[in-house]
Chain A
Amino acid sequence: MNRYTKNNLSKEVQAKLLTSKVLVCGCGGLGSGVIVNLAGLGVGTLGLCDFDRVEITNLNRQFIHTNANIGKYKSESAKEWINSYNPEIEVITYIEPVSEKMLEGFDIVVDCTDNFKTKFQLNDFALKMSTPLVHAGVSRNRGQVMSIIPHQTACLRCILDENEQEESNSGVISPTVNLISSIESLEVFKLITNPENALLNKVLFVDIKEYSFKTISFSKNPHCIC
């Protein structure tokens, strides 16, 4: 427990983190930051889902991956980092697209994927499996974060129409993606320890160009599938 002394959390809260199981979908920009933060917090079991391989263009922002791991699967590369940081963390890797079954046994699923098609899929899997979901997206100078407790709070489909075309994702600098992944990690922390303070029925929109942090409230859409 010495490792977590400076978290300054009660024994009960730290124990809760140590017994938590969190599935991180996507081990790229958002995922790298989330994995580091959750490992530091002391989350006991991390599921890592990604079937992409590490490329040199990832290394401007995905700091858990290194030059030596170019060409390796990102989930395996992320596991290597976790093992070197703290071998006591249990790691389960998935080198395949996320599926409904994958969520089984996890307390929370974190959306670190890089496109809305998968984000909507993950939203639907979380609803089916009643697994709380932390959603985030980031591109250029903007990002957003929200948490979803299935069947209780607004989901992604309550707010957005899947048929709308998403803006093209044209890259992001490391401070921006790390800011959004830190907020996403805080949401995981809050869902585990104090869910009433999480971004439920609301979305935090961040624009680093003007340092704008705007929280907009949404409610469950009565016509939504959730």
Chain B
Amino acid sequence: MRIMVNGKTVELEEGEISLSEFVEKRALKGLFAIEKNFKIINKEDYSTEMLHEGDSLEIVGFVGGG
């Protein structure tokens, strides 16, 4: 299954997975937010939010330096 992640095509061999599984597999850490198909997904919904063919994700990380 193919999805777009930050404008690049990514092949997900696992097929349809939840957003929380995606985050775990990609070892995303730190302060970040994910927009799926132009809608921000609340962290508490990651486990029920499924990824489908053609979905587009924007992953944005927050940095704390000053």
Residues of A whose CB lies within 8 Å of any CB of B are 26, 28-31, 111-116, 119, 136-140, 142-144, 159-161, 164-167, 169, 171-172, 203, 205, 214, 216-219, 221
Distance in angstroms between the alpha carbons of A164 and B62 in the assembled complex: 11
Contacting pair A139 B58 (CB below 8 A): no
Residue from the list A30, A136, A143, A166 in contact with B31, Cβ < 8 A: A166
Contacting pair B66 A29 (CB below 8 A): yes
Residues of B whose CB lies within 8 Å of any CB of A are 29-33, 35, 40, 42-43, 58, 60-66
- What are 18 sample pairs from A and B whose C-beta atoms fall under 8 A apart? A115-B64, A144-B60, A144-B62, A144-B63, A160-B62, A164-B29, A165-B29, A165-B30, A165-B31, A166-B62, A167-B30, A167-B64, A169-B63, A172-B65, A205-B60, A216-B58, A216-B60, A218-B33
Distance in angstroms between the alpha carbons of A171 and B64 in the assembled complex: 11
Chain A residue numbers with a CB within 8 Å of B62 are 116, 137, 144, 159-160, 166
Q: A214-B58, A216-B40, A216-B58 are in contact. Are A114 and B64 (CB under 8 A)?
A: yes
Contacting pair B64 A166 (CB below 8 A): yes
Contacting pair A30 B66 (CB below 8 A): yes
Chain B residue numbers with a CB within 8 Å of A166 are 30-31, 62-64
Contacting pair B65 A137 (CB below 8 A): yes
**Nearest B residue to A219 by beta-carbon distance?**
B40
Contacting pair B66 A28 (CB below 8 A): yes
Q: A164-B30, A164-B31 are in contact. Are A114 and B60 (CB under 8 A)?
A: no
**Nearest A residue to B43 by beta-carbon distance?**
A161
Residue from the list A138, A164, A216 in contact with B65, Cβ < 8 A: A138
Distance in angstroms between the alpha carbons of A144 and B61 in the assembled complex: 9
Distance in angstroms between the alpha carbons of A138 and B33 in the assembled complex: 16
Contacting pair B35 A216 (CB below 8 A): yes
Distance in angstroms between the alpha carbons of A143 and B62 in the assembled complex: 7
8 shortest A-B CB distances, which residue pairs?
A114-B66, A169-B65, A139-B65, A139-B63, A116-B64, A167-B30, A137-B63, A30-B66
Contacting pair B60 A137 (CB below 8 A): no
- Given A116-B31, A164-B31, 18 extra CB contacts under 8 A: A26-B66, A111-B66, A114-B65, A115-B66, A139-B63, A139-B64, A139-B65, A142-B61, A144-B60, A159-B40, A164-B30, A165-B29, A166-B31, A166-B63, A167-B31, A169-B65, A214-B58, A218-B40
**Nearest A residue to B40 by beta-carbon distance?**
A218
- Please give the distance in Å from A105's CB to the nearest CB on chain B: 23
Q: A165-B29, A216-B40 are in contact. Are A143 and B35 (CB under 8 A)?
A: no
Chain A residue numbers with a CB within 8 Å of B65 are 29, 114-115, 137-139, 169, 171-172
